[in-house]
Amino acid sequence: MLLFCVIYAKWLKAVDFSILQRYSILKTIFYHASKTLNMPDLFASKPSKDNSYSASDIEVLEGLEPVRKRPGMYIGGTDDRAMHHLVGEVLDNSMDEAVAGHADWIEISLDANNAITIKDNGRGIPVDEHPKYPGKSALEVILTMLHSGGKFSNKSYQTSGGLHGVGISVVNALSDDMWIEVARDKKLYKQSFSRGLPTTKLEKLGATNNRRGTTVYFHPDADIFGSKARFKPSWLYQMARSKAYLYSGVEIRWKCDPALIPDDAKIKAKEIFKFPNGLMDFLEASLHDRKTIIEKPFHGKAKLADNEGRVEFAVAWPTGGEGFSHSYCNTIPTINGGTHESGLRTALSRSLRAYGEMTGQKKASIITADDIMNGAAILLSVFIKDPQFQGQTKEKLVNTSVTRWVDNAIKDHFDHWLSSDPESSNTLLQAIIERAEERQRRKNDKDQARKSATRKLSLPGKLADCSRRNAEGTELFIVEGDSAGGSAKQGRARETQAILPLRGKILNVVSATSDKIRANREIQDLIQALGCGTGKDFDLEKLRYERIIVMTDADVDGAHIAALLITFFYTQMKPMIEAGHLFIAQPPLYRLVSGNESAYAKDDEHKDELMETVFKGKKNVTMSRFKGLGEMPAAQLKETTMNPKTRTLLRVTLPDAIAVLGLTSEIADDDVRETVGGQAEIDDLVERLMGKNAEPRFRFIQDNAEFAQDIDV
């Protein structure tokens, strides 16, 4: 059957994914597909007859080769969101020019052939010869070399979204056609590129007296993103509009080929975005006329201490429904927050408690930052000189000093805002106190429910519960088998870490009937231990642990068990994933020792990296491969996988393209929510790959088997 699958895939031409997508998706889900079809694992590596490891095995990637080899490291993947991230990289460069005061308009166009053109009236990319690379213009250096640009110091930009010098070069690497026009010093220049390499020399097109700035045209490479990948006009429209909100001094002009816009779409083929009131306009558009606790929002701008930058903020407190919080740094959306959000939280909570104390409200002392922030509508934007982000996709700001700067700047404004209108401030204070009291009541009820659940659990010898009474800071490790459970129990922190061993693979809940699910002991043990119910009866407030951690062996069987568990949580307890409570532990696969030096490797690639760094030149390197967590000594399991100070966890999340693209669901149009949200797409994928019908899985294998390596037939 497998041989037929491989041969059939050789001539199957109509494949919707790029090569990188096919291989990545296949490797992720094939564990379940192979088990369901009772087929051998395509990714099970055969022992190599030649165990030699020499200098000839070491590859050196030059220029932009690393980007094409591992695009996920630079743009987060090769899906639609990643492709749209390319637009963000170029648009951010133009926004940096605007924020620096050198441009006042930006134009973004989407052509019928799926090409993007972004134009601004800034200073234009320098085109003179680079002093370090004779014969190459600065333009060519910027477009073809990683970590090149004018944003490493504050000489050219006081604040900027770019700091790694990789943005536009990554766009070049992942485009099959790209050209840049620069109008500078009353002259027009042009150079073309493809897949990271220049295809023409820098051309001088002649004089241009009434033009300046940079024009960037690019077409995404189908070899990376797939032949059917297309930019979505609604996504780009929202991206352009959100950028205009973040800097009131810029006008963004949107253009799109009318043929690309559906008849029922709410977006226009041509529109100009300019918002003089910045975040305040953003907040009003996001609230959609929702009623608020007090009429007047808290908003304003402030300079940061020591001339380190500035902050803009807009906060309102709706009376009902969910709130939202969106933060930005140098116009870059920080979807995972960061130190600037921490500064805002601290400022609001300190100020409101102090106001309560000043007005004689003793209950104000119980107010926490969560009481103020939860349910609030919050927009926060900072502009700082040297931002430090987590990763190239810049989803979290990590400058520690920003917390103090933002805290001090906003607290002063909030103090004055509260004292300027006592009637509104007292109304807000009372509403927040009521939230705090409700939080305390829920906490007490939850603690009591947890105690009751512990007494009712009939899991003798299975659940080793933690001793802490409330859920805050607690963790439940779901482990594979009693052997691993024994090691985990010895290595855990008893106060906060609970262990639940499962016997083998749990039931595939997608293909099973409800009667089978109810009758399955492993699933029922898991449901009882979590205490929050399933399906329509699920209640996140009753979840007995703050983190649910799937800890399985670092092999194919372990990945299969993890896939089944994630499927169970997705179908039965989806709000738990959406709230960020589900994690995957990352146990090591190898332990390397040479003398007194030891290190752990999570996979073969990491092992090779350690051999070339930590153990380079060292002799007698002993390498041991862990067969399972049950064979790992408790001390090593604790050090590598369970200790919060030394371990690595992967948070399980659902795709949120709206946030990744810098949009907000509050201002997104209906068609954007439908195309970006991806909920139906996820449900369809889970059903096809985990459902009763094996044909979609078999078809997937047929379409992608030719891209598998190390096939054992």
- Per residue in 177-202, pLDDT (tens digit) is 999 999 999 999 999 999 999 999 99
pLDDT at position 388 is: 87
pLDDT band for position 688 (cuts 50, 70, 90): confident
Lowest mean pLDDT among 441-455, 519-533, 633-647: 441-455
Catalytic residue among 177, 386, 557, 687: 557
- Amino acid at position 384, single letter: I
Q: For this structure, is 553 an active site residue? A: yes
- Residue 676 inside a domain? The answer is no
51-60, 337-346, 430-439: segment of lowest average pLDDT: 51-60
pLDDT at 21: 46
Is residue 451 included in any domain, yes or no?
no
192-206, 248-262, 482-496, 501-515: least confident range:
501-515
Contact 457, 463 (CB under 8 A): yes
Distances (CA, A) of 659 to 212, 225, 227, 240: 33, 20, 25, 14
Q: Which of 120, 407, 553, 666 is catalytic?
A: 553
Domain match, 168 and 188 both: yes
Residue 450 lies in a domain: no
If asked whether residues 552 and 620 sit together in one domain, one would say no
CB contact at 8 A, 142 and 125:
yes
Q: Is the dihedral of CA 665, 666, 667, 671 positive or negative?
A: positive
- Per-residue confidence (pLDDT) for residue 368, from 0 to 100: 93
Model confidence, pTM: 0.62
Residues 411 and 499 in one domain: no
Is 555 annotated in the active site?
yes
Query: Is the model more confident about 621 or about 19?
Result: 621
Number of domains the chain is built from: 5
Q: Which of 555, 639, 656, 669 is catalytic?
A: 555
Residues 288 and 435 in one domain: yes
Pick from 577, 584, 580: nearest CA to 563: 584
Asked if residue 307 has pLDDT above 60, the reply is yes
Contact partners, residue 171, CB within 8 Å, separation at least 6:
86, 89, 90, 178, 216, 218
Residues 29 and 81 in one domain: no
Read off the tokens for 180.
Answer: 């840049």
* 156: CATH: 3.30.565.10
Instruction: Examine the domain organization and report whether 283 and 264 are in the same domain.
Output: no
pLDDT reading at 459 higher than 60: no
Q: Which of 231, 196, 246, 213 is nearest to 94 (CA)?
A: 213
pLDDT digits (tens, 9 = 90+) for 549-583: 999 887 778 888 888 898 899 888 999 998 899 99
458: amino acid identity, one letter: S
Please report the pLDDT score of residue 4 as a whole number.
36
Q: Give the residue with greater pLDDT, 422 vs 33.
A: 422
* Same structural domain, 266 and 328: no
| pLDDT (0 to 100) of residue 222 | 93
Report the pLDDT averaged over residues 698-704: 69
Question: Does 75 lie in the same domain as 22?
Answer: no
Max CA distance (Å), the chain: 84
Q: Residues 226, 182: one domain?
A: yes
Q: Over the chain, what is the mean pLDDT?
A: 81
How confident is the model at residue 162, as a pLDDT? 44
CATH number at residue 374: 3.30.230.10
Residue ranges making up the domain that contains 31: 1-61+694-713
> Which of the following is catalytic: 140, 465, 480, 671?
480
Q: Is 480 a catalytic residue?
A: yes
Angle, CA 185 vertex, CA 184 and CA 190 arms, to 5°: 35
If you average pLDDT over residues 304-323, what whole number do you get? 89
